[in-house]
Each structure stands twice: as C-alpha cells, then as structure tokens.
A and B are shown apart, each in its own frame.
Chain A
Amino acid sequence: MRYAHPSRRLFLAGLGAAGTTALLSGCVTSGSSGKSSSGGGAVTFQSNLSAPQAKAAMEDLVAAYGKEGSGRATLNTVAAETFRTQLPTYLTSANPPDVYTWYPGSVADAYARKNLLLDLGEVWTSSPDLKRYSKALTTQCTSAAGRKVFVPSTYYWWGMFYRKSHFAKWGVREPKSWDDFLDLCDKLKAKGVTPIGLGAGSNTPWVASAWFDYLNIRINGADYHRRLLAGKQRFDDPEVRKVFDRWQEALPYFDPDGTALAFQDATTALLAGRTGMMLIGTFFADAAPKGALDDIDFFRFPVIDPKVPLAEEAPTDGYFASARTGRRDGVFDLLRYLATAEAQEIYIKGSSGTVLPCHPDAEDAGTALVKKGRKHVEEAAEITQFFNRDSSDALQPTADTALTKFLAKPKSIGSILTDWQRDAEKIWKA
C-alpha cells in the first residue's frame, strides 16, 4: 500500500497541474500576453486556400521560400469555412500561427483595432518591392490607425462570365447598358436558354451579394455602398430600395434553380449552355475544366447611370500576421519574400492562373482573359472588394437571408429591408 501513495500523489499532482494549465489556457474570456519579439523555428503559415490548384500553388510557394535560404515556413491548409470561423480563435490564442492568408481593408482593420495584428511597418519600409506597389494598395493595407497591417499578393475581378462559342451560336453580343442587357436576356430567353445563372444555393448563398453590390455601386456609387456596409446608411433607405427595383427588372431572367444550386453547379450549367451568363469572380475557374478556360469570356456589369463613377469589384488577397507571434523576424522575412514578383509568379503558375499579381513587375498568366481582366480593373474609377470584405463576415449572413428571401418573394421587399436593417444593427452593436 505504501508504495502506491507517492505514485498516486505524483499522478494526481501532475494531473492537477495539467488541469490548471488547461484551465488557464482554456479560459475563453481571459486575455493572454504577447510573446518575445523573435524566436527560432519555422514560421507557421495558416492558409485558407484549400481548392486543389490553389493549395498546390501555396505548397510550391513555401517550398520556393525554403530553397531561397533566408528562412523556413510550414504551411497548414485549413478548409475555407473552418478557417473563417476559427480566425478569431487563432488570433486570440496564446500560441497562434504566425502568418495567415486573408483580406485587407475593413476585414483586416477590424482585427487591427483590437491589437491582434502585427505592425508590418518595418516590412513595408525595408522591402524594395512593397515601395513600388500602387497607392491604392498601400492605402488598402493600412489600418484606420495608420499602421501597415497587410501585405497584398494577388487580386481578381468579378464580371458577367459567358462562353464565347455559346454567344456566337446564339448570335448575341456583349451588352453595354442596362437596357442592352435586358434585351440580351430577352433574346436568350426566346432561344430557350435561361439567361442568368446564379449559384446562391446549398452552401454558397453569398454569391447573391454580388448582384446587390453591383447594382448598388452602379446606382448609388461606391462611396454610398461603403457607407451602407459600414452602418452609416440604413438598409431600409429609399436608395437601397432603388437597387431592388432594378433587380426586379432582371428577376424574370434568373434561373429558377438559382437559389437551389451551389455556384460550382451553376458553373456547370453555364459551361453546358443551360444558362447564358453568370455574375461571378474568377475563382469559379477552379471548378471549370481546363479545356473550357479558353472559351470563357466576360463583360462589365452594365452601366445603369452614366453619371455614377465606374466602380468594379476586385477583391485583393494577401497576408497578415499575428501580433502574438514569437517569430517576428522570421515573419518579416517571409512577408518580404511573399511581396516579391517571383513569389507571386510562382503562385500564379501553380494555380488556375486567373488572378492578377499585385506586384507591378510580376507577370500574369498572359491569357487573353487575364489581359482583359487587368484592363477591366484598371479602367475603373473605384474599386470595391465584396460584401463581406467591405463590411464583415458577421454581416454576411444578414445579406444571405435578405437576398435569398428577395429572390423568392420579391414583392415583400419592404419588410425584407426592415428586417435586414434590424439584423444588421445587432451585428454593428455587437
């Protein structure tokens, strides 16, 4: 019996110590202090790019950084949805991953305001590459408090995508104005083709937000759009109502299964010619067969009011780092590398190649589609990101509910907007 006591005590004491540690680290409401400025080991790199081509391209990028010799990074790819919901937990944990793929602008600023992002001022001043980035990108990567918190890498654009061969077969052409667009829809409908595919069903209801964004920036302008998404305007304003009045004009041309299919399935319908066109970002190319890519083209979302400055949705992607990183020097080194033309070209070569590099000297994939996309973005007077990037991930579900309800019950728009404002206020006040 006697010999059992010390081991039991030791065991229980050990368990108690482990439990105390777990309690302290598991206390969700407690804060935890930052760590030392620099430590050894590979930089941990958390990525949400889980689509096969994008994931492989990120692996190439990390391998190239390792070969370059100045440091090492370990890549951890997490499914996009899991990454999004876990990001606040990563950033507030005591031992967070060091570098993350994510978005600049209001999304990064929300974390920067809570002192969760590493100040990257030193990276921006020491990197010869970042000094050459456009002013717009520099502003986008600066927090409201004036600190650099983001390093951009690539951007892509949203547009009305279609298949060139199908448009030729149906004898239709790209429209310029809203009236041209409705005429095109009529022609396609007369040929037995569903004019507009959507893909806001299953787990991708957010795709419908692109229609809201574009109609709003075409009717009320990008500035109003940003103010609305920041809670400085109301969703039940008459200006927002105008957006839905226009949308109702196009509604009869939408695929009736638009809220039942995920965007990947809607892409299949587009490529197969069951639908004529689709408002989507270039990321849909990841779900398209390589052979079909050469046949894909797009046109600008039609102009509704020529007096409103032309704005386009062109979300930027890139990286930020945790303020609690223990490997600050390694993080700075990795981010300096990711800002180089070489790094961005490696990513573009490994992925579907439909994104554009942020570095002014980096080469894009060089296809006709990408060249047109670059021109499309450069011609815009203003750039917006996307609903959740210009507002917050927390506000996105309110848009999903309001917009899918509008698509099913357009006549209830009055109550839909009242409810949207009510739901949005809860998020802004949270």
Chain B
Amino acid sequence: MNPLPPPAAEHLSSPVTRAALRVAHRAMAAARALLDGEGFTELPLPVIGPVTDPGARGAKQVDVDYYGHRYKLMTSGILYKQAALLGFDRLYSIAANVRAEPPETAATNRHLVEFHQIDVEIAQGDRDTACGIVERLLTHVVQHVVETAADELAELGREVSVLEKWVRGPMDAITHREAVDRLRALGYQQNSGTEIEWAGERLLSDAASRPFFIVDYPKGSRGFYDRESATAPGSLRNFDLIAPGGFGELVSGSERESDYGRIIARMRETGENPAKYGWYLDVLRGGVPVSAGFGMGLQRLVRALTGLGAVWQVTAFPKLPGVAAP
C-alpha cells in the first residue's frame, strides 16, 4: 500500500510540500502567460450546477443541497466551456473539480478526489489546433519552471535535463489501437474497446522518454461530448497526452459534439437521461460554435514537473479516493 498523506499540519509545514507548491505557482503563472499570449480569456467556471459531466471509470458525483434542489459539484467544466463559447471564442479556466473516484484509484498515485484542471476551449478549432496548444503550453510551462523554480526543483532532486528533453521537438502521436498493440506486445492484455487501463497506461508511460499523444479512443470509452469521427464511425476525434517516466496521463481533450440532435443520441449512448441536461440542451438548441478543447490536470502536471511519487505530495490539502480528509 502506498503511503498516505501525513496529518495536515505536518504535511503543510514540510519543505517538500512547500517546494512543490511553489512549482505549482510557477506552473500556473506560465500557463496563464502562454494562454493569454495566444488570445485566450480566463473565465472562472462554476463549482456547482444542476448537472455535470457524467465522467467515466466509475467516479461518482458529489451532491449538494442548493435551496432544496439537488445540485452537483462539477467533475469538469465541459458543459460550461461549450456554452461560454457564445461569448468568447478562446477561453480557459483553472477550474476546481470533484470526482469521488473508486477507492482502488488511490493506488495509481495520480488520482485525487478534489483537483484542478487547466481547462481550455477553442471555437472553430479541431484536434490539431488543440494538440498544438497542448504542446506549446507544456513547453512554455516546463521552460518557465526550469527558469524560475530551479532552486525548488533542485531541493526536490528533480534533474532539469529530463524536463528539457520532454519539450525538445514535436510530440509523437499513436492511435488507441496502436497503444493496445504495444501493450499486448508487452504481455499486457489490454481490452481494445475501452480506456487504456491504469496499469497499462503506467507501462506505456514507463517505456517512453518524452510525452506523447494517444488519439482516436473508441466510442464507449469516453463521454458523449467527444466527437465521433465522420469518416471512421466508432472512433472519437479525441486525444490524451501521456507523460513519460510513469507519470501517465496529463491531458484529455477532444473535438466536441455540438449538434443538438447528435448530442441527444450520444447522451443516450452513454446511458444518460437527456432531461437532466435541460439548461445545456437549451443552449445547444440555439447553436454553439464547433470547438475543440482539453483539460490538463494541474496536480498531475506539477507531480510530473517535480518528479514526486504521488499527486497528493503536490497538493496542500489532498483528498485521496476512499479516504476521509479535511
């Protein structure tokens, strides 16, 4: 069993925690600078709402009583990002999200119940647009952190040459199918129709020396808002970015479904009752721009930057799945 976070006072006063949180601060500053420079507007997103992204992999939503209505803590900002494109064609947020992940995910070292995403959405963008921004964003963050948080990285024992190598040159992309084939060649029996499993992702990450994209996840593995390919039905126009060295997924993104009728059918394909998405469907009915976007996990990013073993180590007040914590 992996070590659990120590008591809050001990954790907060630890030099490791302090150094990691300073790296997080620099990473957020760098992300904002890059995105602002590319014409994005930072738009705070709601923390609670009547409905949220249904999520995947068994995570449960958390309810709150909102004046007698049962509201949800947001698992992601996707619904609001798409709606907000009516006002801004390029937007981002550093958004707080809550997912009551299955307890076994505490063992992955990269799951928290409460976490933040650098959440980005681009009107009229396609997957290439989004992936390009991901690459530039990660590159800029790494460069800025190496420059401004060199002391903290040294204190944490992180070799900066490793990080510099990550962002030297374009990042490769493989399809989900190719990822499955690689895993099977490694002796891991990955299901070809689902998400890359936690242990499989770890294998791919360990085997890599630089971040790489996985694209074209199959339908049935992701949410209704990931757009299905018009030319390859059953394949989604989405992507993940996997960090090397065992750090795993940093980014999930996709072109978005935006056609009202199409979204309704996709909601049914993911077992959803469209009625509960009333406000969102009303917005879609009037038309929203086609878009692509992604979420980059802030704490995962900082863990990868610092080289620390668990994502809770880079979090001031960590909540591990299945563990009650302040």
- The yes or no verdict on A and B being binding partners is no
Spell out B's residues near A (CB within 8 Å).
Answer: none
Spell out A's residues near B (CB within 8 Å).
Answer: none
